[in-house]
Structure 1
Amino acid sequence: MIKLTDVTKTYEAGGVRTEALKGVSLEIEDGELAVILGPSGSGKSTLLNVISGLDTVTSGSIIYNGNELTEFSDTEMTRFRREQLGFIFQQYNLFPNLTVLENIQIGAEIGNEPLNVEELLKRVGLYDLRNKYPWQLSGGEQQRVSIARSLAKNPEIIFCDEPTGSLDEENSKQILAILQELNEEFGTMIIVITHNTGIAEMAHKVIRMNSGQIISNTVNPVRKRARDISWS
């Protein structure tokens, strides 16, 4: 479980203070697929960054399975991210001179208990493309490589920052279906930030943000399959 208590984040630049997070308290359970919604500037990206250790908090605490992440040293946080977290971004961040297989192997090599790469390639529908290079793939295929690379090290949590932001509806739903199936099959906690309200329909938990604060935190009584969600 991830538990945030009274988390704040303040940036200062040119004498101007910006409160990106204002006393955020939140719990996300192991195995949950959580969606964080909000407009640009609502604080959702900052929230993802402090939960994942990509940024530090100004005050408050973040505890993951009994570990006080906000007290970790830089070395401890780097190790935590490397061994236990996976990241999927809107930009695929693939190595252009490596094949699909080689890109995914990089993820497996940094995991303590990595998944079988060939089985994973089949799982995400990339086995026949394993010797292709990123420039030979569609956007949806490249995002599938990004997901497989993230999953290869067998992380406990996957953070997704607008993972379908540059894809059309059909490819987006294919990507979301993979994430939903991985969450259900492996029990991986998945945290997605997005402005697309339709994606919330497939989540266990929906967190809505505005002006650096959580304005609602609800549990879906019924979750839709990714391919059946509304699109906006």
Structure 2
Amino acid sequence: MIRLEHVSKIYKTGDVETTALKNVDVTIQDGAFVVILGPSGSGKSTLLNVISGLDTVTSGTITFDDIVLTDLTPEQMTAFRRDHLGFIFQQYNLLQNLTVYENIQIGADLTDDPLPIDELLDQVGLKGARDKYPYQLSGGEQQRVSVARSLAKNPSIVFCDEPTGSLDEDNSKKVLELLERLNEKYRKTVVVITHNTGIGAMADDVIKMNSGRIVELTHNPVKQAAHDIHWG
């Protein structure tokens, strides 16, 4: 479980201060599928960055189970991310000179308890592409490799920053189905940042943000399947 208490983030440029997060309180339950919604500049990316330790808070406390993340040194936070967190971004960030299998192997090599790569290739529908290079794949296929690489290290939580932002609806829903399966089959906590309100229907919990604040928290007692959500 991740708990944020009175979290604020202020960026300073010279004498100018910009408040990106304002006294945020929220809890993310283990095994939940969480969607963070909001327009550009709402603070949703900053929220993901401070939860995952990619950025520091100005004030407040973030805890993961019994670990106070905001008390960790940069070196300790780096080790925590390596051991517990997975990341999927809008850009695939694959190494072009490595095959699909080798790109996924990078994630597996970060842990002593990786998930089997061939099983992951089967899960993402790319078993026949294990020896191909990224340039030989479509954008949707490359994003599925990115998902498999993130999952290979067997993380506790997977953070997804606009993972479908550069894909069409068909490929987007394929990636969302993978995240859905990741959450249900492997019981991983999944946190997705998006501006697409339709994706909120497949979440357990939806966090809506505006102007650095959480303006609405919604729990879906019944979730829609990824392939059934309204797009847009």
1:104 matched residue in structure 2: 104
Deviation beyond 4 Å, 4+ runs, structure 1? none
- How many angstroms does 1:112 deviate by? 2.6
In structure 1, C-alpha distance between the alignment counterparts of 2:14 and 2:230, rounded to whole Å: 42
Q: Which amino acid aligns with 1:104?
A: I
1:126 matched residue in structure 2: 126
In structure 2, C-alpha distance between the alignment counterparts of 1:212 and 1:182, rounded to whole Å: 29
In structure 2, C-alpha distance between the alignment counterparts of 1:135 and 1:218, rounded to whole Å: 40
Which structure 2 residues correspond to residues 1-232 of structure 1 after superposition, within 5 A? 1-232=1-232
In structure 2, C-alpha distance between the alignment counterparts of 1:135 and 1:188, rounded to whole Å: 30
Give ranges in structure 2 of 5+ residues lacking alignment.
Answer: none
Q: CA RMSD in A?
A: 0.5
Percent identity over paired residues? 63
In structure 2, C-alpha distance between the alignment counterparts of 1:184 and 1:11, rounded to whole Å: 37
Classify the secondary structure of the residue corresponding to 1:70: helix
Q: Which amino acid aligns with 1:15?
A: D
Give ranges in structure 1 of 5+ residues lacking alignment.
Answer: none
In structure 1, C-alpha distance between the alignment counterparts of 2:133 and 2:191, rounded to whole Å: 28
Classify the secondary structure of the residue corresponding to 2:178: helix
In structure 2, C-alpha distance between the alignment counterparts of 1:138 and 1:42, rounded to whole Å: 31
In structure 2, C-alpha distance between the alignment counterparts of 1:165 and 1:115, rounded to whole Å: 27
In structure 2, C-alpha distance between the alignment counterparts of 1:66 and 1:198, rounded to whole Å: 34
Classify the secondary structure of the residue corresponding to 1:221: coil
Q: Is the 8 A contact 1:205 1:220 kept in 2?
A: yes
Classify the secondary structure of the residue corresponding to 1:164: coil
Q: Is the 8 A contact 1:34 1:206 kept in 2?
A: yes
CA offsets 1:97-147 (integer angstroms, 9 cap, x no match): 000000000100002310011111111111100101001100000000000
CA offsets 1:141-198 (integer angstroms, 9 cap, x no match): 0000000000001000000000000000000000000100110011100000000000
Classify the secondary structure of the residue corresponding to 1:3: strand
- How many angstroms does 1:14 deviate by? 2.8
Classify the secondary structure of the residue corresponding to 1:215: strand
- How many angstroms does 1:199 deviate by? 0.3
TM-score normalized with structure 2 length? 0.99
CA offsets 1:60-89 (integer angstroms, 9 cap, x no match): 000001110000011110000011100000
In structure 1, C-alpha distance between the alignment counterparts of 2:62 and 2:216, rounded to whole Å: 19
Q: Is the 8 A contact 1:92 1:142 kept in 2?
A: yes
In structure 2, C-alpha distance between the alignment counterparts of 1:115 and 1:215, rounded to whole Å: 38
Q: Which amino acid aligns with 1:93?
A: N
TM-score normalized with structure 1 length? 0.99
Q: Is the 8 A contact 1:83 1:112 kept in 2?
A: no
